[in-house]
Structure 1
Amino acid sequence: MYDPAYGATDADLITFMGEEVREESAALGRRWFLVAELAGRRFPEMVGRQMYCADSISSVAAEISPVLNISHSRAVWQVETAITLRDRHPQVFKRLCRGLIDYRMVSMIVARTDNVADDVMVELDEAMAGRVEKWMKLSKNKLRDRIDLFIAEFDPAAVRVPPDADKHRYIDIDPGDTAGTAFVSGRLHAEDGAALDQRLDALADTVCSNDPRTKSQRRADACGPLARGEATLACQCGLDDCPARANRAAANAAVIHVLAEQGTIAGTSDKPGYLPGFGVLPAQSVRNLLPAAQTKPVTVPTADTAAQTGYRPNATLTEFLRWRDLTCRWPGCDKPVQRCDIDHTVPWPYGPTHPSNTKHYCRIHHITKTFNTGAGGFTDEQLPDGTIVLTAPTGHTYRSQAHGASMFPALRQPTGTVETTPLPPESPDRIAMMPRRRQTREQDRRERIATERRKRTEIITEQQRQHQAWLAATYEPPPF
């Protein structure tokens, strides 16, 4: 760390900043080089697996996500980007590894040149590599325009076509930047957006004039009643004779689940609760939910009560596993348990259906562990407190504590050891039983590129037609 007390001038500080920025970029380049090298070594071993759900890209992503501590989807993107830089942008890649350009530049180039034909990329890569250092100070939009200008010169049909906004409708509700809040974003049909806007206004106006909240705050609070199917927003005036109270009615209510300790509910503790998908919920926010809530204790199995027969966990064990794990247990993965499978660490019936032998894996990690196991694959071990020890094909090990158990100690008490029987030898045809894709990743990519290139060609043809029409309309023959 640079400290002015050791003689660094203001100019030195600026110089040091620039050096650190270049070192960060170079480190990113070196990391992507390592990812591409690992993929290059793994892919020959996985020939013929491109139609499987856990294809070569997914398998490498599952291997790097624990060490990078990132989700599976981000790991897939890292693998695909590293391979693209190595194979299609070697000259640009060299400049990243030297720290001459940064992540922003590289990600923009990779995205904008995705449609460029392979036989054009060598020349385009050389041409852009000679300019990228000069583009570093350009804004995002100006950088996009410069890259597109080069693409139009080398392969006009490859210029990216703006997406059809109507096809990209969505609503995202994510954790907010402060505890107990959520962030909403989305794109709707205009008529649906107008209806939602009016409905929030209508709900916000069902309180009396003494409510202390602003209109914006009431609109935000109205999302709760709207989601629960309620006809009015609860007034916060605090008056016993509030004129809005008589109008309050409720329809079918939506249900949310919150995990909290008994002391938080009783008011003897201010330890926060947990709202799945949104993180910690302040203790007072938990208590604010109590008037309309039903409380239910989570039954924590003990060594004497945990064992059960059969493959599928019963309702009590399923509920305990859901709250203990909260997310996929693969290191770096945070998919919620609602989108996960319950996996037997030691496969059933060689290992029992027991809290010390079951946990949640999302579908892709469940498939990866199930079909890419044994020698040269992944193995996992589960401890009585739910901790998972995952061993990668390289021999690296990663410990993963259950997310719920890490926040609520009662959920990580040991549930006893399990008795297992030796597994039979692995079938050499085991991989053939893996679920398959409809198309390979490369087929999906080629199909998308062909569609977008066709749209760009149609745009170019129409522009040329309009230009010719304009020339015909403005042309005046010379006088004789």
Structure 2
Amino acid sequence: MFDLSGVSEPAATPLDARAIDTFRAQLSAALESPSGLDDGGRVDAIRGLEALACVVTAAQAHLSVELDTSRREERAAKGVPAAQLGRGVGQEVAHARRESPHRGQRHLGLARIATTELPSTWRAWRAGRITEWQATLIARETACLSREDRLAVDTAVAGDPARLERMGLRELVGELQSEANHLDPASVVARRRRAETDRHVTLRPAPDTMTWLTALLPVKDGVAAYAALTRSADSARAGGDRRGKGQVMADALVGRVVEGDTTTAGHQRVSLNLVMTDHDLFGAGDQPAYVDGYGPVPSELAREIVAGACTRKEELWLRRLYCHPRTGELVAADSRSRLFPRSLARFIRLRDRVCRTPWCDAPVRHLDHPVPRADDGPTSEVNGQGLCEACNYAKEAPGWWARPSPGTDGHEIETTLPTGHRYRSRPPPIVATVRRTPIRIDFVLAT
């Protein structure tokens, strides 16, 4: 049964792991039996738990700032350059929160801003009136302002916590933007111009072997591109095309990007790396294949891709790869060179797929020597791992330590954080079965 009788009487609870684990265990045990509440009590309990969840994230922010301050003071005393004092702290926070380093760094940045520059927001957050995301929106929309103007907006928007709690997200953002534009319109314009330099394109897996290809563009470019695709769809459908409007727009986008504009001279070359077993390639199996940059795909789709490439007379390259007999991980040979050779680098990227840091699904950007070359670490698949840029820089901070972990069950890296916490990472099996020889198929699309 839920007992919320003490909620209205705050009591000091020590922020140590033992006390927190005790409370968590008590709350978890309460879920093993019916609550015994009426419907009104259930709604009140849900509201109370939501407020508790907000306070929990505020407590994490409080401790994250303390950790960051401690790390910076410790490193400053050792003479570490100022620019490197906070390196790796966001990754430690991410490890504790079981999330990607990017999210951990974002949480730490928000915690520093909220506790030092947004006092009204911080009071509402730690009281459980707003979520971490609402606090993030306030910090984001005031980032372009001076410290004084930021404080003024914080007071105007978050000074009344009851009113702030009633705001929807769109209403909150609108009021923040209005206050910011009123106080410092020039900074809002400058922020817009800086934002245009952040334009980029991303690719993420979607369900059912689809992908989300997303472009962040200035408003004029985004609207113009969408209008051009819409015109193509309307024209095609007016001419009797039976495809849906969205289908025509998607096909037109791919056609213009992959096949290229007819006014552009030369040819475009696009490589697609597909890994599957010979058993599945020739139709005798049904284990998933792997497409570099996307992930697992059904073997039927992989065979369709290969057959389509042969039909279109594209350049086709086959390379044999070898799996560990038990784990299914890819294995390869050593190299003595300083930089990872292209073939070995390609192999490590295919083996690790994404950054090896737990909960970090970022693409591999850096090929790292766990045992540094300065310590005579070899350039090999054993002493190599794929990391994103942020994680590779983080492990260079004082107190971080990484080494290949000895064993016979494939590739494993053990990383030790400055606090002494450890984690081990392994690459995912490249194929579900290890009794077949995986083949890497490279397509070079020449148009």
Do the structures match in fold with TM over 0.5? Answer: yes
Partner of residue 72, structure 2 = 43
**Cα deviations across residues 137-186 of structure 1 (Å, max 9, x unaligned)?**
22233223444566678x55697457259936845343253131112333
Closer, same or farther: CA 56–282 of 1 in aligned 2, 3 Å: farther
**Cα deviations across residues 245-267 of structure 1 (Å, max 9, x unaligned)?**
xxxxxx75522112223333222
The secondary structure found in structure 2 opposite 1:323 is: helix
What's the CA shift for 1:309? 2.8
Distance of 1:401 and 1:151 partners within structure 2: 47
Distance of 1:229 and 1:397 partners within structure 2: 48
What's the CA shift for 1:32? 0.8
What's the CA shift for 1:63? 2.4
What's the CA shift for 1:46? 3.8
Closer, same or farther: CA 169–35 of 1 in aligned 2, 3 Å: closer
The secondary structure found in structure 2 opposite 1:174 is: strand
**Cα deviations across residues 209-257 of structure 1 (Å, max 9, x unaligned)?**
8x9754543543455554442899xxxxxxxxxxxxxxxxxx7552211
Distance of 2:178 and 2:340 partners within structure 1: 59
Counterpart pick for 2:394 among 354, 368, 371:
368
What's the CA shift for 1:77? 1.6
Closer, same or farther: CA 213–349 of 1 in aligned 2, 3 Å: same
Is 1:388 paired with 2:413?
Answer: yes
**What is the TM-score when the length of structure 2 is the normalising length?**
0.71
Partner of residue 333, structure 1 = 360
The secondary structure found in structure 2 opposite 1:280 is: strand
Partner of residue 99, structure 1 = 128
Distance of 2:112 and 2:195 partners within structure 1: 32
Counterpart pick for 2:274 among 258, 264, 282:
258
Counterpart pick for 2:110 among 59, 81, 101:
81
The secondary structure found in structure 2 opposite 1:296 is: strand
Partner of residue 442, structure 1 = none
Conserved 8 A contact 2:356-2:427 = yes
What's the CA shift for 1:392? 0.2
Conserved 8 A contact 2:290-2:430 = no
Query: Which is higher, the Rg of structure 1 or of structure 2?
Result: 1
Partner of residue 60, structure 2 = 31
Is 1:353 paired with 2:379?
Answer: yes
Match of 2:42, as an amino acid? L
Counterpart pick for 1:310 among 330, 337, 341:
337
Q: Extract unaligned runs of 5+ from structure 2.
A: 1-29, 311-315, 326-330, 438-447
Partner of residue 289, structure 1 = 305
Match of 2:355, as an amino acid? C
Distance of 2:379 and 2:181 partners within structure 1: 60
Distance of 2:261 and 2:113 partners within structure 1: 53
Partner of residue 179, structure 1 = 208
- Alignment RMSD: 4.1
What's the CA shift for 1:91? 4.2
Distance of 2:403 and 2:426 partners within structure 1: 13
Is 1:220 paired with 2:247?
Answer: no
What's the CA shift for 1:30? 0.7
Partner of residue 290, structure 2 = 274
What's the CA shift for 1:131? 0.6
What's the CA shift for 1:85? 1.2
Closer, same or farther: CA 29–266 of 1 in aligned 2, 3 Å: same
Is 1:400 paired with 2:418?
Answer: no
Higher strand share: 2
**Cα deviations across residues 430-467 of structure 1 (Å, max 9, x unaligned)?**
xxxxxxxxxxxxxxxxxxxxxxxxxxxxxxxxxxxxxx
Is 1:300 paired with 2:322?
Answer: yes
With 360-369 and 21-30 compared, the bigger mean Cα shift is at 360-369
Partner of residue 89, structure 2 = 60
Conserved 8 A contact 2:232-2:249 = no
With 301-310 and 356-365 compared, the bigger mean Cα shift is at 301-310
Distance of 2:53 and 2:261 partners within structure 1: 54
Partner of residue 453, structure 1 = none
Partner of residue 20, structure 1 = 49
What's the CA shift for 1:28? 0.7
Partner of residue 378, structure 1 = 401
Number of residue pairs aligned between Structure 1 and Structure 2: 383
Counterpart pick for 1:343 among 369, 372, 393:
369
Conserved 8 A contact 1:115-1:158 = no
**What is the TM-score when the length of structure 1 is the normalising length?**
0.66
